[in-house]
Amino acid sequence: MATEQGAIPVIDFNAWSDGSIDDKKRIARELTGACRRVGFVYIINHAVPEDLLEEAFGWSKKLFDLPKEKKMLAPHPPVCDQGPTVHRGYSWPGLEKVSQDIISDGEEAKEAANRKIADVKESYEIGSEDNEVQPNIWLPEDILPGYREFMTQFYWKCFEAAKELLRALAIGVGLEDEDFFLRFHSGKNSQLRLLHYPPVEAEKLFSNTVARMPAHSDWGTITMLFQDDCGGLQVEHPNEPGSFVDATPMKNAMVMNVGDLLMRWSNDFLKSTLHRVTLPPIHSKTRIDGKLMTQPRYSIPYFVSPDPKAVIECLSVCTDEEHPVKYEPVVQEDYRRMRGRGQYAEAPAAPITVS
């Protein structure tokens, strides 16, 4: 049964795999109901095992504990003025600037203004080994032995969990074919992201001198997020635009949210919600040279995206006379490039100081 953690619903998937048809329909209704009201939901008893998640976070910490010069052996490639063609490898603090703004031709001043407040985070992007458009960029094996093998397997384990969520969403919006969305998702175009937010002066975050990750929506179909116990993730309140509520970490729970393309597919029936990572709860003992510091934060989002040439158009089950079609059809790759433009510096930027 669905419960709530603050303003964010909690959906139990325990009966999804082995339950009755009625169990599946109930869970699907609960999931789409939450996605319609809030756009964010906690999933418990999902299909990613606890021990596998613990191992994934262990690898993430090993990766980000490496010296900068070793992490830079797998650098995120430079981008052109149309956004990142290949979004893979290691992104150092200051390279990426998350924004909800879409940068168009001739808006260099707008992009420069966005970059005045740097995002203090580092990440490592991983995709399918079969994605020829965006090939993976791996560290040399001797730098972190076993990392590539584990992350490759973990990527596909996450996609198996995503497939069940896509089936539930199809049922929940009223499609007769529960595999409808799967026909657009081979798994080859999803993205696994390891994220690390280093400690930073709390005052700098509070005064907006630096940021962790400003308010934004995700670009794909759905996002599955696993987070540590640090806190800091916030979701826009469903009934109070501009106000944000904490997505407090729940042990072993997945946070799932609707992406822009699923919102377009559903003709706004499902909600792609703004969210951000900001100042987490501060512990009084976390001080360096007398300065109050945030805790380090680790999270692992898995972005579920349609295949590059997939055409996303409003579903007939989500349109009628009272709800006319709101969006023209869009190709996934075109939408990704449009949203990605302006978030990465055109030239490799030097890593910023994080303390």
Span 298-326, average pLDDT? 96
CA distance 33 to 19: 20
pLDDT tops 90 at residue 291: no
pLDDT tops 70 at residue 239: yes
What pLDDT does residue 246 have? 92
Task: pLDDT band for 98, please (50, 70, 90 cuts).
Answer: low
pLDDT tops 80 at residue 337: yes
pLDDT tops 70 at residue 228: yes
Span 90-113, average pLDDT? 59
Task: pLDDT band for 6, please (50, 70, 90 cuts).
Answer: low
**Residue of 166, 191, 231, 15 whose CA lies nearest to 88:** 191
CA distance 294 to 111: 28
Question: Is residue 170 helix, strand or coil?
Answer: helix
What pLDDT does residue 110 have? 42
State pLDDT tens for residues 41-91. 999 999 999 999 999 999 999 999 999 999 999 999 886 544 567 889 999
* DSSP-derived secondary structure for 69-108: HHHTTSBPPP-BTTB-S---EEE-TTTB---SPPP-TT-H
State pLDDT tens for residues 105-142. 444 444 444 446 678 899 999 999 999 989 999 999 99
Q: Do 283 and 190 form a contact (C-beta atoms < 8 A)?
A: no
What pLDDT does residue 324 have? 97
pLDDT tops 80 at residue 352: no
- Domains in the chain: ranges and CATH: 50-340 (2.60.120.330)
What pLDDT does residue 141 have? 98
Least confident stretch, 32-46, 73-87, 188-202, 236-250: 73-87
Least confident stretch, 61-70, 222-231, 280-289, 343-352: 343-352
Q: Which of the two residues, 133 and 10, has the higher pLDDT score?
A: 10
Alpha helix (H) residue ranges in 234-296: 260-265
- Here the tokens at position 211 are 């940021």
Q: Do 90 and 124 form a contact (C-beta atoms < 8 A)?
A: yes
CA distance 309 to 255: 27
Q: Which of the two residues, 17 and 106, has the higher pLDDT score?
A: 17
pTM: 0.90
What pLDDT does residue 344 have? 59
**Residue of 160, 196, 165, 245 whose CA lies nearest to 64:** 196
What pLDDT does residue 203 have? 84
What pLDDT does residue 285 have? 53
What pLDDT does residue 108 have? 46
What pLDDT does residue 65 have? 98
CB neighbours of residue 346 within 10 Å: 12
Q: Do 188 and 305 form a contact (C-beta atoms < 8 A)?
A: no
What pLDDT does residue 103 have? 38
Contacts of 216 (CB under 8 A, 6+ apart): 98, 99, 100, 274, 275, 276
Q: Which of the two residues, 64 and 200, has the higher pLDDT score?
A: 64
What pLDDT does residue 78 have? 81
Task: pLDDT band for 7, please (50, 70, 90 cuts).
Answer: confident
Q: Which of the two residues, 81 and 96, has the higher pLDDT score?
A: 96
